[in-house]
Amino acid sequence: MPTCVERFDLDPDKFKGAKCPCVVRYERGTTYYYRQLTPDTKDYRTRVIKGASNMQEAIEKAHIAFLEIRQLPKKTKKRNKGSYDSGYVNAKSWEEYRLPTGGIYIYTTDFDSIKIGKTNDLRARFKTHQCSNPENIKVLCLISAESEDARAEKERSLHQQCSKYCRVNEWFWYVPTVQNMILDLQEEYNFEPFTYARKPPGFD
């Protein structure tokens, strides 16, 4: 890992979905980089800040590199539930992954807040929600529950656990306590998160 000789920590409120956003320059180089920690992966992602010859210019242009990172496809390991890439699932590939028909869903679009809801048709619900969201839906957990009573009971239980962090209606702040709850659910139900979207062209 090269030694960082310059670093400026950016305001995370201006870089939604990024943890520890900063501008850095490494020794033996004049290039400035935007760097962030993505909460769901615990991995750092970096992007060259083009056209920056000093730290001030790099800070002013950091948002461009941030937006580029948000559009980069996420390469992840295979799901072992079909022939499609693990990072992306859409309505057409849903059955290939043997995902549930109905149940509880938890998703986010910006890692700022999450939605916890229930439905008897998860594919239809995500298609509807995606139409009103400019960002891809990141599905953090699905819990199969085919009966309405089971769905209502589980949804009510999760809402109560997160009630302290309610933002509005079924939306909750994605704070560390909620993140840990979701990690426990992922382990309990052996669920691997995915993006509800088609695999981008050229993704390998």
Range of the domain at 104: 88-196
On whether both 107 and 189 belong to a single domain, the answer is yes
What stretches of 2-157 adopt beta strand conformation (E)? 4-9, 19-26, 32-38, 43-48, 88-89, 103-108, 113-119, 137-144
Same domain, 114 and 147: yes
Element spanning 160, H or E: helix 148-161
Residue 186 lies in a domain: yes
Same domain, 103 and 170: yes
CA dihedral (74, 75, 81, 82) positive or negative = positive
Question: Using CA atoms, how far apart are residues 29 and 171, in angstroms rounded to an integer?
Answer: 44
Average pLDDT of the chain to the nearest whole number = 85
Range scoring the smallest mean pLDDT among 6-20, 74-88, 154-168, 186-200: 74-88
Cα separation, 9 vs 179, whole angstroms: 23
Confidence band, pLDDT 50/70/90 cuts, at residue 73: low
In the prediction, which pLDDT does 78 show?
41
pLDDT at 92 over 70: yes
Tell me whether residue 202 is in a domain: no
Same-domain check for residues 42 and 108:
no
Residue 201 lies in a domain: no
Which percentage of the chain shows pLDDT scores above 70? 86
Number of other CB atoms surrounding residue 56 within 10 Å: 11
Does residue 78 fall inside a structural domain? Answer: no
pTM over 0.75: no
60: number of Cβ within 10 Å: 12
**Is there a single domain that holds both residue 43 and residue 108?**
no
Q: Is residue 163 part of a domain?
A: yes
The C-alpha atoms of residue 69 and residue 119 are separated, in whole angstroms, by: 32
Residue at 165 is within a domain: yes
Does the residue 136 lie in any domain? yes
**Which two tokens mark 203?**
């993704």
Nearest alpha carbon to residue 77 among 87, 66, 90, 68: 87
Mark whether 92 and 192 lie in a shared domain.
Answer: yes
The two structure tokens encoding residue 27: 């020794």
Q: Looking at residue 79, what is its pLDDT?
A: 41
Q: Which residue has the higher pLDDT, 188 or 203?
A: 188
pLDDT band at 146 (very low <50, low <70, confident <90, very high): confident
Domain count, the chain: 2
Same domain, 93 and 64: no
* Residue 44 shares a structural domain with residue 123: no
Burial of 22 (0-12, 13-18, 19+ CB in 10 A): buried
Query: Do 93 and 181 lie in a common domain?
Result: yes
Residue 137's pLDDT is what? 93
